[in-house]
Structure 1
């Protein structure tokens, strides 16, 4: 195995270890602090940036390995179509050599493919865990847990739901405008009610005065 495929294998093992660490059940407080550290650490940010560049090279290796598998498959098809012009021993040796190259090409293709696929799973798992932490913290706040909503919670919420916060702020502003509109309508209705009450009471007073006369 060449050096870059060996490094790809090590990266695959590292991704498997990270995935196992992500799915290990931990107490809520410890998990929240851990993900707050991950979201704020500059070292982790640099590591993520380097991994993104590495995955681009792995994608290139994956495309190259798929191309090699396709070419080797074509060579095997050509061997199967050849006649008796070539000696059986020589043909068998060449066929074994091509099959060996096919095996290595397929191995490299699977290695790069699983590494890329696991990177997508890790990214999605990390995002889902951040969302779960944010929702758990919101539930604790609604239940009246004063320990919830600390600095770590704010960091996790900021890391996982900046767009959600912006959307909630817009909804809150719209609700405030609706409340102000309802207040104005209620004030208008109450003033109209008092005016009608005054008019009714005034009409009754006029009728009583006429009856008295």
Structure 2
């Protein structure tokens, strides 16, 4: 197994461990604090962004493995058509083709299950957040411990934490752009005033006192 497919396998094992951690029964207070921390942590947000890029590369590997499986199937079909059966293919060549078919299918299944499990993890995470939010609202209505409005608000914000962090980053970029535009506008204003003074001097028109 090559290095990148070994990394894909390690990622698959990590996803399985995360999935098991998500479905482990825990008290409501502990689970709500844990999911609130996960949603509000900037480190987790950066990790999720890096994982999205990683899954794009895994999707490319999945498409490549599907293409390899298709080409191997075409070679086997051509060998059967030309020789009248698989037995017509030489032993070493047949072994080589079968090995390529096995490795291509293994890589396809590995990448496919990794991508599929990532979708399951994302959906499971959203569903658990919804369940925690509804449970907090029920506890709030019943007046039970742990069902306060602060917990409900945090759980509501946790579901949109990724969007909020993205909007905050976008606002910071807009603020930086506005500062740059202000500096450019100030420079243009000074340059305009300087050129205006030069024009008045060269034209012989006296400057008006402000």
Per the normalisation by structure 1, the TM-score is 0.70
Aligned-pair CA distance for 1:151: 4.0
CA distance 1:109–1:147, change in 2 (3 Å)? closer
CA deviations over 1:84-116 (Å, ceiling 9, x no partner): 9xx96x712111100100000000000000000
CA deviations over 1:24-62 (Å, ceiling 9, x no partner): 000000000000000100110000000000000000000
- Unaligned runs of 5+ residues in structure 2 are 162-210
CA deviations over 1:129-169 (Å, ceiling 9, x no partner): 0000000000001001254225444221112279xxxxxxx
Aligned to 2:103: 104
CA distance 1:5–1:156, change in 2 (3 Å)? same
Kept in 1: contact 2:136–2:151 (CA 8 A):
no
Q: Looking at both structures, which has the greater relative contact order when contacts are Cα pairs under 8 Å and sequence separation is at least 6? A: 1
CA radius of gyration, larger in: 1
Q: How large is the RMSD of aligned CA atoms in angstroms? A: 1.9
- Unaligned runs of 5+ residues in structure 1 are 163-213
Aligned to 2:15: 15
CA distance in 2, matches of 1:38, 1:152: 15
**Matched pairs, number:** 159
Aligned to 2:64: 64
Aligned to 2:26: 26
CA distance 1:97–1:146, change in 2 (3 Å)? closer
Aligned-pair CA distance for 1:82: 2.4
